[in-house]
């Protein structure tokens, strides 16, 4: 077996199907991510992809029997321009392979940590794209349950795409809508206080809190709570008491509309927290026309079509989806993207390289939470009693 963990025969079979593997670009608890290519049948064009290879044999039973089947089911059903496109899903022996659109500029955390300052225009555009993606998922009765900067990918044309549905689930059945969730999963720095309590919670509204943390990081280049200094019980108390603040530079640089939206998303009282539909009507997502009137940012053509498809009012554009079952594979493959076009935002979303010391006034520095990659976990519960584990 090579670096991918696949047998030589399997790699050859994928090669015959047009897939080839390059270098490893990431890894997780049970998976590795490789740069890959997909050539067309005529071998005239190629598409750069990322391939997530999950070794199910090394994963715990709960992951392989509950979380992984949910993820694959959801990935086969979602199609949205602001969600990373899935080229194909394959199974061979103990490995699951998910080929997806490659995000040339990495994840949002990597982008922020590369010493680039995000403009308000960029922050608003990316936040709007993610909110529209969340509106679509919630219309399909899907909750992501692990929204964080590492699961937001930035493409070549500077668009934000939601990715990694490892903890996602449907939140309704034919018999009952809006089912509460009893799995206390996610990434603790982005987890809503009601999830950390370890009691049944409404997962769609918890997604809004997590997205609020992402937007906070976009504006402040730090987390709202000092995860490296305070135990989970203390973080939970800070969440409930709203003991967080914007950094001084963020207050100076970003509009009150931007700050107000983050404040509304980090509302500890579930019933007061806005939905995705509410957020799309917020002041930050309005623009002023030549007559001085303010109008909500209009959805793109493909965002509108995707949402209408989610509601079942129109049919999805043809994607040439092929589903095949053989002795070797269970295969779902999209030969054509239903939403192939992206907004070209490179020129409009300028960024500026800055020095870290420029971000803070002296009063900010001692308490500024460190910004680093946060692992996802299947147990972020019971912070109320001080029993949370990472």
Task: Tell me whether residue 286 is in a domain.
Answer: yes
Task: Tell me whether residue 340 is in a domain.
Answer: no
Judgement on whether residues 361 and 322 belong to the same structural domain of the protein: no
Q: pTM of this prediction?
A: 0.86
CATH number of the domain that 206 lies in? 1.10.510.10
pLDDT score recorded for residue 61: 87
Domain tally for the chain? 2
The domain in which residue 95 lies consists of 8-101+318-334
Instruction: Write the DSSP assignment of 47-88 as a string of letters.
Output: EEEEEEEEEGGGS-HHIIIIIHHHHHHHHTT---TTBPPEEE
146 is catalytic: yes
Judgement on whether residues 82 and 152 belong to the same structural domain of the protein: no
Judgement on whether residues 94 and 113 belong to the same structural domain of the protein: no
Positions of E strands within the chain: 19-27, 31-39, 46-55, 86-92, 95-101, 116-118, 142-143, 152-154, 160-162, 169-170, 286-288, 294-296, 321-325, 330-334, 351-353
pLDDT score recorded for residue 139: 93
User: In whole angstroms, what separates CA 307 from the centre of its chain?
Assistant: 18
Task: Tell me whether residue 273 is in a domain.
Answer: yes
pLDDT score recorded for residue 296: 83
pLDDT score recorded for residue 230: 86
Judgement on whether residues 239 and 96 belong to the same structural domain of the protein: no
Task: Tell me whether residue 167 is in a domain.
Answer: yes
pLDDT score recorded for residue 329: 53
Residue 52 counted as an annotated binding residue? yes
Judgement on whether residues 41 and 180 belong to the same structural domain of the protein: no
pLDDT score recorded for residue 370: 61
Which residues of the chain are under the pLDDT cut of 50? 319-328, 347-350, 355, 357, 359, 361-366, 382-390
pLDDT score recorded for residue 315: 56
Task: Tell me whether residue 270 is in a domain.
Answer: yes
Judgement on whether residues 40 and 162 belong to the same structural domain of the protein: no
CATH number of the domain that 86 lies in? 3.30.200.20
Judgement on whether residues 255 and 367 belong to the same structural domain of the protein: yes
pLDDT score recorded for residue 379: 54
pLDDT score recorded for residue 390: 32
Judgement on whether residues 128 and 46 belong to the same structural domain of the protein: no
Closest CA to 330 of 14, 92, 33, 5: 92
pLDDT score recorded for residue 326: 38
SS3 160: strand
pLDDT score recorded for residue 24: 94
Task: Tell me whether residue 306 is in a domain.
Answer: no
Cα-based angle 315, 154, 121 (whole degrees, multiple of 5) = 95
Q: 146, 164, 207, 360: which one is catalytic?
A: 146
CB 145 within 8 A of CB 206: yes
Judgement on whether residues 196 and 222 belong to the same structural domain of the protein: yes
């Amino acid at each position: 077996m090579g670096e991918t963990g696949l047998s030589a025969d399997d790699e050859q079979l994928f090669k015959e199907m047009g897939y080839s593997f390059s270098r490893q670009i990431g890894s997780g608890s049970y998976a590795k991510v490789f740069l890959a290519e997909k050539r067309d049948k005529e071998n005239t064009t190629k598409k750069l992809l990322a391939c997530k290879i999950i070794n199910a044999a090394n994963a715990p039973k709960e992951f392989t029997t509950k979380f992984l089947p949910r993820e694959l089911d959801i990935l086969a059903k979602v199609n949205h321009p602001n969600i990373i496109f899935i080229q194909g899903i394959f199974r061979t022996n103990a490995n699951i392979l998910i080929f997806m659109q490659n995000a040339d500029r990495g994840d949002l955390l990597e982008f922020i940590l590369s010493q680039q300052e995000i403009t308000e225009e960029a922050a608003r555009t990316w936040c709007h794209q993610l909110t529209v993606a969340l509106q679509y998922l919630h219309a399909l009765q899907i909750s992501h349950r692990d929204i964080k900067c590492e699961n937001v990918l930035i493409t070549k044309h500077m668009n934000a795409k939601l990715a990694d549905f490892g903890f996602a689930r449907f939140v309704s059945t034919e018999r009952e809508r809006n089912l509460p969730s009893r799995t206390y999963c996610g990434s603790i720095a982005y987890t809503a206080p009601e999830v950390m309590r370890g009691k049944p919670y409404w997962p769609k509204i918890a997604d809004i809190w997590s997205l609020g943390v992402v937007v906070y990081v976009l504006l402040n280049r730090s987390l709202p709570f000092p995860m490296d200094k305070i135990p989970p019980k203390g973080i939970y108390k800070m969440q409930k008491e709203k003991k967080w603040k914007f950094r001084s530079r963020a207050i100076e640089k970003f509009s009150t509309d931007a700050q107000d939206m983050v404040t509304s998303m980090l509302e500890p009282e579930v019933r007061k927290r806005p939905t995705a539909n509410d957020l799309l009507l917020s002041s930050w997502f309005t623009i002023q026309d030549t007559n001085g009137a303010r109008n909500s940012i209009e959805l793109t053509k493909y965002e509108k079509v995707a949402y209408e498809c989610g509601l079942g009012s129109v049919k999805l554009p043809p994607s040439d989806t092929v589903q095949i079952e053989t002795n070797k594979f269970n295969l779902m493959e999209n030969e054509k993207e239903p939403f192939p076009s992206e907004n070209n935002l490179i020129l409009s979303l300028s960024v500026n390289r800055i020095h870290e010391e420029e971000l803070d006034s002296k009063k900010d520095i001692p308490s500024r939470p460190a910004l680093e990659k946060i692992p996802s976990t299947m147990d972020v519960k019971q912070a109320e009693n001080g029993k949370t584990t990472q």
